[in-house]
Amino acid sequence: MDKIRMNTPLVEMDGDEMTRILWQWIKDILIIPYVDLQTEYYDLGLAHREETKDQVTIDSAEATKKYGVAVKCATITPNATRMPEYNLSQMWKSPNGTIRAMLDGTVFRTPILVKGITPYIPTWTKPITIARHAYGDVYKNTEMRVQGGGKAELVYTDAHGNETRQLIHEFKGDGIIQGLHNLDSSISGFARACFNYALDRKQDLWFSSKDTISKQYDHRFKDIFQEIYDAEYKEKFEAAGISYFYTLIDDAVARVIRSNGGFIWACKNYDGDVMSDMVSTAYGSLAMMTSVLVSPSGIYEFEAAHGTVQRHYYKHLKGEETSTNSVATIFAWSGALRKRGELDDNAELCKYADVLERATIRTIEDGIMTGDLYLISTLEHKQKVSSKAFLEAIAERLSALMQ
């Protein structure tokens, strides 16, 4: 059989620890036998980030801007204990943070549903995608404690030196103050990324905030979304048969619980932080989540939602067998290959990506799974297999489906 050709390379960002091991196996066992894989390779493993003084992370983000599609392995975000372990000269920043800032992207996370793993909310029969705004609010705050009473004011000095003042509070005793901000440009980018993604996935988009209480701040989010929707997306949404829906965050939470899923929920930064953990936990496992960073200009970076699975890696280094779930990393590859195929009009590549996902899900639904899923699956004839045996079981099904 001829291998599937690729017209444009993917940007490949290799990573760390157990996921780096899985990365190589996924390529060798599932992809290279079928695809004449073309990638521009960047090693984001911590040792190489140290060697290049983190330039490799910046280079990989630049390459993503150039080619439009990247696939990223999980990477270590160094903390104090990593400093001696990797002999680091600096506590390098999170690559995800660097890449997100350079692409000005929004992260979309979607659960992968399989038979035998029932969400804690059993009526959620379709996935709920959370889109989290990744700039500003409480994550870029300024805050202080004040003591003994006094006056707190909000002061804005414009470009001409004119001041606008508003009283925050007249303190009679001790208290706390916090200053938040966001940017029209960042909110607009977030809105466009969400509208584009909804069109791409042909799913309804919900957006929620607390504009009844925050009549300027949250209301600005609501207005920007509505203005962009009316001007640029309304017709496209109608043509695609999908809708845009705004509601208050508390109403959204209630509706989400009562829903069957199957939509995209755009959240402000803090709401997205909290709700993505709730939604992913309710669906079962971080190892069964896809995650993609989408820029307002339509650049895509696919990754797994979980980390480098350090505990399993140390077992692997000791020569012990691991049972690490590779599904999210496989779906990062299939997502990237499918997007590359769509952009290049390469139907064969898109079809391969679909079949790879089907083979992966079929393996788990046939009862062959890694330890994390074995613990929660309700299938009767289930079998826990090693990291590599799981990939080989997928390869068998992939081979049958590719015939």
Site string for ligand NAP, 183-222 (x = CB under 6 A): ----------------------------------------
136: contact with ligand NAP by CB under 6 A: no
Strands 383-384 and 368-369: parallel
Least distance from Mg ion to the Cβ atom of residue 272, Å: 9
299: contact with ligand NAP by CB under 6 A: no
Q: Compare residues 267 and 330 and give the one whose CB is closer to ligand NAP.
A: 330
Which tokens is 226 given?
Answer: 């509505």
Exactly one of 129, 208, 308, 334 binds ligand NAP (CB under 6 A); which one? 308
Exactly one of 201, 306, 338, 339 binds ligand NAP (CB under 6 A); which one? 306
Which tokens is 174 given?
Answer: 């001790």
- Residue 328 CB partners (closer than 8 Å, separation 6+): 112, 286, 287, 288, 289, 290, 291, 304, 305, 306
Which tokens is 115 given?
Answer: 């038979």
Rule CB under 5 A: which residues touch Mg ion? 273
- Residue 241 CB partners (closer than 8 Å, separation 6+): 202
Q: Compare residues 128 and 369 and give the one whose CB is closer to Mg ion.
A: 128
Q: Compare residues 220 and 384 and give the one whose CB is closer to ligand NAP.
A: 384
6 binds, among Mg ion, ligand NAP, none (CB under 5 to 8 A by kind): none
Strands 150-157 and 163-171: antiparallel
Q: Compare residues 249 and 299 and give the one whose CB is closer to ligand NAP.
A: 299
Q: How far apart are CA 150 and CA 168, in angstroms?
A: 11
Contact range with ligand NAP by CB under 6 A, out of 24-32, 114-122, 193-201, 307-315 = 307-315
Least distance from Mg ion to the Cβ atom of residue 386, Å: 30
- Residue 211 CB partners (closer than 8 Å, separation 6+): 218, 219, 221, 222, 248
14: contact with ligand NAP by CB under 6 A: no
Least distance from ligand NAP to the Cβ atom of residue 13, Å: 10
Q: How many CA atoms lie within 13 A of 239 on its CB side?
A: 7
